[in-house]
Amino acid sequence: MKQSFFKYQGTGNDFIVFDNRNDYFPKNNSVLIKNLCHRKFGIGADGLMLLEASKGSDFKMVYFNADGNEGSMCGNGGRCIVAFAKKLKIIDSETSFEAIDGIHQATIYNDKVSLEMSNVNSIEDHKNYIFLNTGSPHHVEFVDDISTFDVLKKGKEIRYGSPYFKKGTNVNFVQQIKPDVYSVRTYERGVENETLSCGTGVTAVAIAADYSQRSNSKNIKLQTNGGDLEVSFQNDKNSYKHITLKGPATFVFKGSVEI
């Protein structure tokens, strides 16, 4: 049976999106999802999302990694599904939606989506890196020259190594450009490669920059290979709340595929 799909991207982080309010999509078919995300033999994407009906919110977001398994929260995916919900006329400029890590508030104006992220109440400060969870787990490591850094090799080593092992983590390498500007490259688990951008990753970087006293700004600009994002927040004794991820979310194309 052929079904319509929509392709969206947020600063180069791209997603296949289905309107699954009728609950037709075979969510347990991880092979199908993996094949659809494959860049040579499928549509190609960093992940796949389903927009579903929700009793308490405007809609529900269900996110799958490119490996076919259901994933943790995806910040750029969250921004893209808000743009998709507007395209479907489910929402106008404001929304409240359900995701795996709870309820998220968001606004959309002129294809720019501001997404409120989960609070961060626990941060691990290690000798060479910072670890925190922004809806997904993130290892944040500051480096001197990000342009020549081997993100794939080092990211894979950290993702599978101690102390993360099989459960794994996303890995962010960061270079400070200005007190409130950071260049970020991310190795994403589930994609098992470097992506052009990672929403929960840049959120983690912004908080790590404040936590490590590299910046006094509560509005951090993040440069990724796919484009620019902004993260703002409030903090009180290393507890972070009102965290907002802002950036573009763009419709790419519509197609149909056999499900």
Q: How far apart are the first and last CA of the chain?
A: 6
Q: Let me know if 37 is a catalytic residue.
A: no
CA separation for the pair 230, 203 (Å, rounded): 8
Q: Write down the catalytic residue from 85, 146, 198, 208.
A: 198
Q: Write down the catalytic residue from 16, 32, 61, 74.
A: 74
Q: Let me know if 198 is a catalytic residue.
A: yes
What would the 3-class secondary structure string for 135-155 be? CCEEEEEECCCHHHCCHHHHH
Q: Where are the beta strands (DSSP E) in 117-210?
A: 123-125, 130-133, 137-142, 170-178, 181-188, 193-195
Phi, psi of 38 (to 5 degrees): -65, 130
Locate tokens 């309107």: which residue? 19
Specify the DSSP element, H or E, that contains 13.
strand 13-19
Yes or no: say if 60 and 54 are a contact pair by the CB < 8 Å rule. yes
Residue numbers annotated as active site: 74, 198
